[in-house]
């Protein structure tokens, strides 16, 4: 696992909690926030944004990832995810795949429920044997 200091992880968790307060989640009532740390040192927040048609709903992790990529970031050192549930919510399959495009399997993923008690793992733990750019050969 790539290393992040305890202080950095705690600050990222605080930012993820703040991001979760911006969630637009009128249908599920489940608020999620993410703080994605780029290798530049900048940190990008994201929240879940739901939709009346349900399918277009976007998770907090992808909001943070796409915001960061749009800002020009391409490499990341870690992500903290906070949710309003009793226990930590781990990224959904779509977010695991989206993150794996830009983040290494060693990247720390820190997930917390509403009590702020976290579980630390890596992206590779969550998505082993992922399909990635190198699978496309010369096109990747």
Q: Which residues sit at the interface with ligand THU, rule CB under 6 A? A: 25, 28, 30, 32, 48, 50, 57, 59-61, 89, 91-92, 95
Least separation in angstroms between CB 49 and ligand THU: 7
Q: For 54-113, list the strands marked E by DSSP.
A: 76-83, 108-112
The alpha carbons of the chain give a radius of gyration, in whole angstroms, of 14
For residues 37 and 77, the answer to whether their CB atoms sit within 8 Å is: yes
Mention every residue, 6+ apart, whose C-beta is less than 8 A from residue 65: 36, 44, 46, 95, 98, 99, 102
Nearer to ligand THU by Cβ, of 13 and 32: the residue is 32
Nearer to ligand THU by Cβ, of 43 and 50: the residue is 50
Least separation in angstroms between CB 140 and ligand THU: 26
Least separation in angstroms between CB 48 and ligand THU: 3
Active site residue 18: no
Nearer to ligand THU by Cβ, of 45 and 91: the residue is 91
- Give dist(CA 88, CA 115) in Å, integer: 9
Q: Please identify which of the residues 43, 50, 61, 73 carries the catalytic annotation.
A: 61
The pair of three-digit structure tokens given for residue 1, joined into one six-digit string:
């696992």
Tell me the catalytic residues: 61
């Amino acid at each position: 696992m790539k290393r992040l200091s305890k202080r950095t992880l705690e600050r990222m968790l605080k930012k993820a909690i703040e991001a979760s307060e911006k969630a637009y989640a009128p249908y599920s009532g489940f608020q999620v926030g993410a703080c994605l740390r780029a290798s530049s040192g900048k940190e990008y927040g994201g929240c879940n944004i739901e939709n009346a048609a349900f399918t277009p709903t976007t998770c907090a992790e992808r909001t943070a990832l796409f915001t960061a990529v749009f800002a020009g970031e391409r490499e990341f050192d870690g992500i903290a995810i906070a949710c309003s549930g009793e226990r930590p919510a781990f990224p959904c399959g779509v977010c695991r795949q989206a993150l794996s495009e830009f983040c290494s399997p060693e990247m720390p993923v820190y997930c917390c429920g509403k009590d702020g008690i976290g579980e630390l793992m890596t992206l590779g733990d969550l998505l082993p044997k992922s399909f990635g750019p190198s699978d496309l050969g010369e096109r990747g």
